[in-house]
């Protein structure tokens, strides 16, 4: 179980080029972001590598790890290694996760999401995931109920040592998710669409996490 405040994990929209880098840098410049999932669209390997090279420093220069996922059939291990990312993120596919683990060894983080059941979560943990992501938006943009994500993250954090990330669809969801003892709380659209900008959203989330930690 986590014995310190949950840390922030940001998830970008699906990116087709590197134009998102300034907004990413603004969010990460707060120094409060532990990791960013760069969701890349479907493109050829060279284009994806170039995107990562252009985007990852916007996070890494502020102390945040850059994790990559991609639509389509991209070779994520190659994209991450040649692009300079810190890790990769895959949908809940134990076979693919094991293959990436064999290739990347312990050199890069491997995360898993799109987890439907508790059995799926345990299988992915056993396959070598470095973290599990619960509650992220589905391909159609919908999200599971907050109650179900709180239940799943609480269950995982209490029993298993592999860290988990709990996705908050809004800033209001940060506090109940942090209370699950999840090591990370993820934010996506709540940061990028915040009326005062990404940095203001990150700072607001950090204040909630710190308040929650102080009240334990």
Q: Give mean pLDDT in consecutive 10-residue pieces for the chain, a chain of 216 residues.
A: 77 96 97 97 96 98 97 92 97 94 94 96 96 92 94 97 97 97 97 97 96 80
Q: How many CB atoms lie within 10 A of CB 11?
A: 24
pLDDT at 3: 53
**Cβ–Cβ < 8 Å for 148, 177:** no
Domains and CATH numbers, the chain: 7-214 (3.20.20.70)
Q: List, in order, residues 6 or more apart from 71 with CB less than 8 Å away.
A: 14, 40, 41, 42
Distance CA 135, CA 115 (A): 8
Question: Which one-letter DSSP state was computed for residue 15?
Answer: B
pLDDT at 214: 81
């Amino acid at each position: 179980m986590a014995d310190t405040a949950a840390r922030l994990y940001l998830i970008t929209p699906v990116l087709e080029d590197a134009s998102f880098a300034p907004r990413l840098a603004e969010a990460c410049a707060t120094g409060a972001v532990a990791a960013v999932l760069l969701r890349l669209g479907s493109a050829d390997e060279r284009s994806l590598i170039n995107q990562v090279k252009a985007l990852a420093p916007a996070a890494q220069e502020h102390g945040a790890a850059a994790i990559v996922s991609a639509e389509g059939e991209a070779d994520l291990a190659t994209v991450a290694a040649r692009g300079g990312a810190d890790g990769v993120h895959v949908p809940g596919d134990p076979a693919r996760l094991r293959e990436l683990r064999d290739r990347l060894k312990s050199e890069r983080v491997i995360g898993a999401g799109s987890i439907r059941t508790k059995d799926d979560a345990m299988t992915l943990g056993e396959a070598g995931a470095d973290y599990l992501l619960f509650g992220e938006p589905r391909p159609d943009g919908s999200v599971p109920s907050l109650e179900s994500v709180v239940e799943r993250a609480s269950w995982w954090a209490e029993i298993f040592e592999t860290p988990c990330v709990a996705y908050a669809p809004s800033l209001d969801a940060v506090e109940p998710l942090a209370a699950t003892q999840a090591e990370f709380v993820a934010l996506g659209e709540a940061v990028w669409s915040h009326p005062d900008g990404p940095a203001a959203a990150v700072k607001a989330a950090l204040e909630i996490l710190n308040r929650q930690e102080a009240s334990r």
